[in-house]
Amino acid sequence: MSRVRWRTRTRSDFDAGELNMRIAIIGAGPAGLAAAYDLTRPEAAAGTTGSTAVSHHVTVFEAAPTVGGLAAGFKAPHWDWTLEKFYHHWFASDAAILGLIKELGWGDQVLFSRPVTAMFHDDKFYAFDSAMAVLRFPGVPFIDRVRCGVMALYLRLTPRWQSLEKVTADAWLRKWLGPRGYDTLWKPMLIGKFGEENLSLVNMAWFWARIHARTPRLGTFQGGFQAFMDKLADVVRVQGTEFQLNSPVTGVTPLPNGQLQVETASGFTPFDAVISTSSPALMARMVPALPSAYADQLRALKSLGAVVLVLALDRPLTRRIYWYNLPKEAGFPFLALVEHTNYMSPDHYGGDHIVYCGDYLEPTHRYFQLSQDELLDEFLPSLTRFNPEFERSWVRQAWLWKTAYAQPVPPVDHSRSIPAIRTPVKGLYFASMSQVYPWDRGTNFAVEIGRKAAKIVQEDLGR
């Protein structure tokens, strides 16, 4: 590995009127790309320190061969569009990412529609994505449906979530919906999402955020999320950012001169600041110099992994419904079935009909050890419950995607446990989906926290 010489850098090292700092970003997902965009765009740099123009050299390190992070996609040879490995969509209320897209002038490439979401009851599926759909749902008595509607309206209208994080979603929903409505409607979904073992942990502020901000209209980018990520990376690259793909960072070490040394398989490189967008567990391992109190905060953040089996079928599995919420107590082997081509046309995918079978699971769950063929054997028999005529011969192709870090688990009073973006190590910053609370993980809040981290870095380096 290469040796690095370092010395203390001062303003005199740079041209008059320009302070040029080297910044590393770990991770080329939405947060990392948004941070790189803000740190290198000329109009943002010019206003950082008043009349002094600040230009930063940014290097983005990414372990994968492409940008995108958990929003990355893939593409079969006969498809026109890419497809997300882990199903994604935007809500009409996603101000951060839609604002960035508008800023970039790409608003005409955002496509919105209103697909149908369904709830399972008595071996049938019922629409459950509007007030009228809830009132028509036969799974609970009418009075409980009314209570559900009133509760949803309250959560939509109240701007305050702080008191809700002091109680679990399980306790709050059971109290205000009653046991019949809760046990039928939301308890199965909470268990499916977080597991029985976490039902007594997840706080109500997380549930509030899902109801408060989400919309029935869902959006995507023309060409898929990977097309958006690639376009954003191209802009960032033109602005001067260097990308090192296939380059996992194995360590970050403070140097005596105040810089931070980033270690990869290629060697060691010094930087004036480092933004990590990794998982909390990886962050704790990468930076042994973190004070124990902050490192303990990182290690205490609980999260689940995800296993997603993507199927390309030669015909539709179902009609009209996009998203199926599935109670595991009813014998389904996964949490959700998402028929993507009931949302976006199969014409974008060479006529293939795309179905996701997805689940959030503890990283120790046996699904993480199963091969694609083994999971096909596990999952495919359940598809006859959606269409009795389904046969395995309908499957043209399949892809299996797994990640150990996909869904943060927010316990009671979680706001007290969130690590600050500015870590105790000078020049080191952490921006992850575990810190967007009370909001749920997603590309919108990844962009928001990435831009927030960039602003903090600009403020610190401009002093």
The predicted structure's pLDDT at residue 12: 40
The predicted structure's pLDDT at residue 130: 80
Q: CA-CA distance, 32 to 433, in Å (whole number)?
A: 12
The predicted structure's pLDDT at residue 9: 43
Cα atoms found within 13 Å of the Cα of residue 101, Cβ hemisphere only: 24
Q: CA-CA distance, 461 to 44, in Å (whole number)?
A: 14
The predicted structure's pLDDT at residue 44: 55
Cβ burial of 104 (10 Å; 0-12, 13-18, 19+) is middle
In CATH, the number for domain 11-69+225-301+415-461 is: 3.50.50.60
Q: DSSP states of 269-308 as a string?
A: EEESEEEE-S-HHHHHHH-TTS-HHHHHHHHH--EEEEEE
Grouping H, G, I as helix, E, B as strand and the rest as coil, residue 5 is coil
The predicted structure's pLDDT at residue 20: 74
Residue (of 193, 208, 198) closest to 163 by Cα position:
208
At the top level of CATH, the class of 303-408 is alpha beta
Instruction: Parse the chain into domains and list their residue ranges.
Output: 11-69+225-301+415-461, 130-213, 303-408
**Per-residue pLDDT tens over the stretch 25-64:** 999 999 999 999 999 987 655 444 443 445 689 999 999 9
Number of other CB atoms surrounding residue 162 within 10 Å: 10
Q: CA-CA distance, 10 to 7, in Å (whole number)?
A: 10
Number of other CB atoms surrounding residue 407 within 10 Å: 18
Tokens 């990414």 correspond to what residue?
62
The predicted structure's pLDDT at residue 47: 47
The predicted structure's pLDDT at residue 4: 40
Do 230 and 439 form a contact (C-beta atoms < 8 A)? no
pTM for this entry: 0.91
Do 388 and 68 form a contact (C-beta atoms < 8 A)? no
The predicted structure's pLDDT at residue 165: 97
Segments of the chain with pLDDT less than 50 = 1-18, 46-53
